[in-house]
Structure 1
């Protein structure tokens, strides 16, 4: 399987998704469309991963619109797609639904609660890393997968091959440190989780997040 990853900022990489790919001996390619403008084709993509970033799907940038063309092609071909944060918002925007300012800015660690039994083996409650102030509308053709205390729309499952999460299960501890030290002002500005960059680092990554991240990717690629 060829996995094509769209990375949108240097400090939000694939993390555990890359580990999962190596465990299964998949080919792994990372594209940086915000910097180089390159995107894979649908035909050379078996799984598309769309990572987070500081931009919004509502930004009027050519490469953001080109990403949605690729997403639509993969949706038409019923290929698996996983989106994290901005990536999930891009999927929703491609489907014609809204991405808007969230009622609360969430930056740091907070619980998320499973809202669907569709994917086996997912605990009722998990602690995930949040790094966002926008949110997506859940498409009517999808089902709500996760919610948090502050923002209801935290994850969705579309059919059996597309998952979008507003939060992050993919970071390992080195990735968390990278996010916190490079984007260190973001948690300090009107953050409703009230966590500092150092508190976010000190929290550590729950061991369950790796199991769940692997389960989600197994589900959409099975």
Structure 2
């Protein structure tokens, strides 16, 4: 399987997604459209991963619009897709739903709570990394998957093929360090009131990787 990854900032890479791909013998191709302007074609995409980034789907940039055209084409082809943070927002925007300011800015570690059992082997809650101040709407045709105490719309699953998460479940410990040391000014103003040092002290739970693997296994079934 060819897995095409859309990465939108140097410090938010595929993390444990790359581990899952390697374990299954899949080929991972990483694109950086914000820098090089290149995107894969739909016909060469067996699975699409859309990662987070500092931009908004509402930004008027040609490459952001081109991503949504690709997403729409893959939705029509029933190709598996996983979106994290901005990536999940791009999926819902491609489906015609708005992306807007969240009720509050979430940056740091806080639990999310499972709202559906449609995906097997997901725990009732996960302590995950948040790095956002916008949110998607849950598409009416999708199933609500996760919520946090501050932001209701934290995850959805659509047609057994598409999962979008507002939070980050893919980072490994070194990925968290990379996010914090490069983007620590963004922490200011978060309702979670965590410092960079607070965020770095948290150990990434193995539950997060297991949940990610369960999601990725599910969408390719």
TM-score range with shorter-chain normalisation? over 0.9
Question: Tell me, which stretches of 5 or more residues in structure 1 are unaligned?
Answer: none
Pair 1:95 & 2:106 matched: no
- Structure 1 distance, partners of 2:31, 2:43, is 16
Pair 1:207 & 2:210 matched: no
Pair 1:173 & 2:173 matched: yes
Cα deviations by residue, 1:122-151 (Å, 9 ceiling, x for unpaired): 111111100000000111000110000000
Query: How far did 1:34 drift?
Result: 0.2
Aligned-residue Cα RMSD (Å) equals 0.5
Structure 1 partner of 2:189: 190
Structure 2 partner of 1:83: 83
- Structure 1 distance, partners of 2:197, 2:158, is 36
Matches within 5 A, 1:43-122: 43-122=43-122
Aligned residues: 221
Secondary structure of the residue aligned to 1:42 is coil
- Structure 1 distance, partners of 2:108, 2:189, is 12
Which segments of structure 1 move beyond 6 Å, counting only runs of 4 or more? none
Q: TM-score, normalised by structure 2?
A: 0.99
Query: How far did 1:197 drift?
Result: 1.1
Structure 1 partner of 2:220: 221
- Structure 2 distance, partners of 1:204, 1:172, is 9
- Structure 2 distance, partners of 1:7, 1:198, is 26
Secondary structure of the residue aligned to 1:39 is coil
- Structure 2 distance, partners of 1:46, 1:196, is 39
Q: TM-score, normalised by structure 1?
A: 0.99
Query: How far did 1:112 drift?
Result: 0.2
Question: Tell me, which stretches of 5 or more residues in structure 2 are unaligned?
Answer: none
